[in-house]
Amino acid sequence: MTDGPLANFAAALEQMTAQGRRRQVQPVYLDGPWLIDAGGQRRLNFGGNDYLGVVADALVSVGQDRGGGTAGEAAGVPGGAAASALVCGWTPHHERLAKAIATAENCEAAVIFPSGYAACSGCVATLCRAGDLILSDELNHASLIDGCRASRAQCLVYPHRDVAAVSEILSQRRSEFNQVWIVTDGVFSMDGDVAPLGELVDLADQHDAQLLVDEAHGTGVLGARGSGLCEAVGLQERIGIRIGTLSKAVGHQGGFVTGPRVVIDYLIQFCRPLIFSTALAPTAAAGACRVIEQMEAWQERRKHLTRLAQHARGRLHNETTLMPCRDWSELESGIPIVPLIVGSDQRAVDLSRRLGEQGYYVPAIRPPTVPEGTARLRLSLSAAHQQEHVDALIDTVIGILKHPMGAKPAS
Ligand code: PMP
């Protein structure tokens, strides 16, 4: 490599440093709801996506799992799949997991990916073909955006949750395309709001379009059976193709697509991230499978999480100016992603640092992850938290907001 690209990379990094946007990976240890940094400091963790507390409570471990008891599984669960799914990486753990997901999701079939990112990007890039149109919400997750970019279909981005814009495009341009796909996150990962699925699926039906939903933050959290937003709003039967991750509420790793058998078979034949990547680690598949099989029974955890989210939103809305003034639906008020929009990058970083000093890890999320001028703290709640944890955090946030320069409150 010449100096050219190296110098370019160095310049880009320097620019990020100058803007205060350069980030680091740092080793951390997890201990229940606590996060311990390399220096040994313990903080209550409000940064992860362990919504049901599977990781925090070490609820599921497969170290000693003997699988389904066949001769091939008796040696225990291999750490790696050693091949892609189509070659010889699809073990009985993958098979059992795919069946468990299809059952939990009320679908004909499911296929497992090495990550949720691969599931989202691969599914969109593969199903949306040349001659098709994709309508994509402007706040969709990067994995869906990358799928749109990799697809041969034309893509139009519509303003966040703007059903009227979707309707207009469909009315005016439907006839130009073979298939039209409306692609959306179910729960939006940086805002904690939800897609207007009812209106979108009505429009899709009206205009012979297909709705594709990423359930990454809904799986395990929403719906009486815990299968996500589509279940919670009673639309599972009308939204036939759904994408999910095993790395958030399921507490493991991997992603999935679930839907009609023909869609799953098509992905298995043509989806590049599935074909050209080693299959998910069998340990992750086996662990995730145990969680999926128990998910329906974890209603108390879901209720606890919903109550925590409602409580946090209520207090933050009433006692601070950081919650955007919006009418949350009852469902939305229980979403465990709570953004505190502070505006400037510096303010978000300062607030996160001061919370860190007082024992709370709440990450600052800055552009380009979120739009310019909307830097925020993103509070992620977990069933492993207690209400006292949440109240203590909010009291600390309020204390910091009252004393922005770091002055100690008068005692
Ligand atoms: N979709 C959404 C909405 C997400 O937030 C994420 C993870 N941040 C993903 C997909 C990707 O999932 P995974 O982490 O399993 O790759």
309: helix, strand or coil: helix
**Distance linking the first and last C-alpha atoms of the chain:** 61
CATH of region 25-65+298-402: 3.90.1150.10
The pTM for the full model equals: 0.93
- Which of 120, 193, 291 for mutating ligand 1's site (highest number of atoms within 8 Å of CB)? 120
* Mean pLDDT within 148-164: 98
Per-residue pLDDT at 75 = 54
Amino acid type, 205:
D
Centre of ligand 1 from the C-alpha of residue 144, in Å: 9
Per-residue pLDDT at 68 = 45
Per-residue pLDDT at 325 = 63
* Mean pLDDT within 195-218: 98
Per-residue pLDDT at 82 = 92
- Give 204's contacts (C-beta < 8 A, 6+ positions apart): 182, 210, 211
* Mean pLDDT within 162-190: 98
For ligand 1, atom 13, the nearest C-alpha belongs to 116
Question: Do residues 23 and 363 make contact, with C-beta atoms less than 8 angstroms apart?
Answer: no
Per-residue pLDDT at 231 = 97
377: helix, strand or coil: strand
pLDDT exceeds cutoff 60 at 122: yes
Q: Which fold has domain 92-296?
A: Aspartate Aminotransferase; domain 2 (3.40.640)
| CA-only gyration radius of the chain, Å | 22
* Mean pLDDT within 290-311: 96
| % of the chain beyond a pLDDT of 70 | 93
* Mean pLDDT within 212-227: 97
Q: Give the pLDDT band (50/70/90) at residue 247.
A: very high
* Ligand 1 residue neighbourhood (C-beta within 6 Å): 115-117, 120, 141, 143, 185, 189, 214, 216-217, 245, 247, 255
Per-residue pLDDT at 411 = 38
pLDDT exceeds cutoff 70 at 263: yes
For ligand 1, atom 12, the nearest C-alpha belongs to 116
Least confident range from 93-102, 103-112, 366-375: namely 366-375
Q: Give the pLDDT band (50/70/90) at residue 64.
A: very low
- Which of 101, 187, 189, 191 for mutating ligand 1's site (highest number of atoms within 8 Å of CB)? 189
Per-residue pLDDT at 403 = 82
Domain boundary assignment for the chain = 25-65+298-402, 92-296
Among the listed residues 408, 2, 87, the one whose alpha carbon sits nearest the alpha carbon of residue 279: 87
* Mean pLDDT within 283-301: 96
Higher-confidence residue of 68 and 301: namely 301
Q: Which atom of ligand 1 is nearest to the CA of 245?
A: 15
Per-residue pLDDT at 23 = 86
Tokens for 328?
Answer: 């949350």
Centre of ligand 1 from the C-alpha of residue 2, in Å: 35
pLDDT exceeds cutoff 50 at 72: no
For ligand 1, atom 14, the nearest C-alpha belongs to 116
Q: Give the pLDDT band (50/70/90) at residue 70.
A: very low
Centre of ligand 1 from the C-alpha of residue 138, in Å: 16
Least confident range from 12-21, 64-73, 110-119, 151-160: namely 64-73
CA distance 398 to 404: 10
pLDDT exceeds cutoff 70 at 66: no
CA distance 309 to 326: 15
Q: Give the pLDDT band (50/70/90) at residue 35.
A: very high
- Which of 49, 117, 160, 219 for mutating ligand 1's site (highest number of atoms within 8 Å of CB)? 117
CA distance 55 to 48: 10
CA distance 356 to 353: 5
User: Residue 402: how many CB atoms within 10 A of its CB?
Assistant: 10
Chain-centroid distance of CA 93 in Å reads 23
How does the average pLDDT of the chain come out, rounded? 92
Q: Which atom of ligand 1 is nearest to the CA of 253?
A: 15
pLDDT exceeds cutoff 70 at 409: no
pLDDT exceeds cutoff 90 at 105: yes
Higher-confidence residue of 362 and 26: namely 362
* Mean pLDDT within 218-226: 97
Q: Can the peptide bond before residue 368 be classed as cis, meaning omega within 30 degrees of 0?
A: yes
Centre of ligand 1 from the C-alpha of residue 118, in Å: 9
Per-residue pLDDT at 95 = 98
* Mean pLDDT within 374-401: 96
Chain-centroid distance of CA 167 in Å reads 27
Among the listed residues 35, 62, 57, 58, the one whose alpha carbon sits nearest the alpha carbon of residue 46: 35
CA distance 40 to 169: 54
Q: Which atom of ligand 1 is nearest to the CA of 143?
A: 10
| % of the chain beyond a pLDDT of 90 | 84
Amino acid type, 345:
D
Per-residue pLDDT at 24 = 86
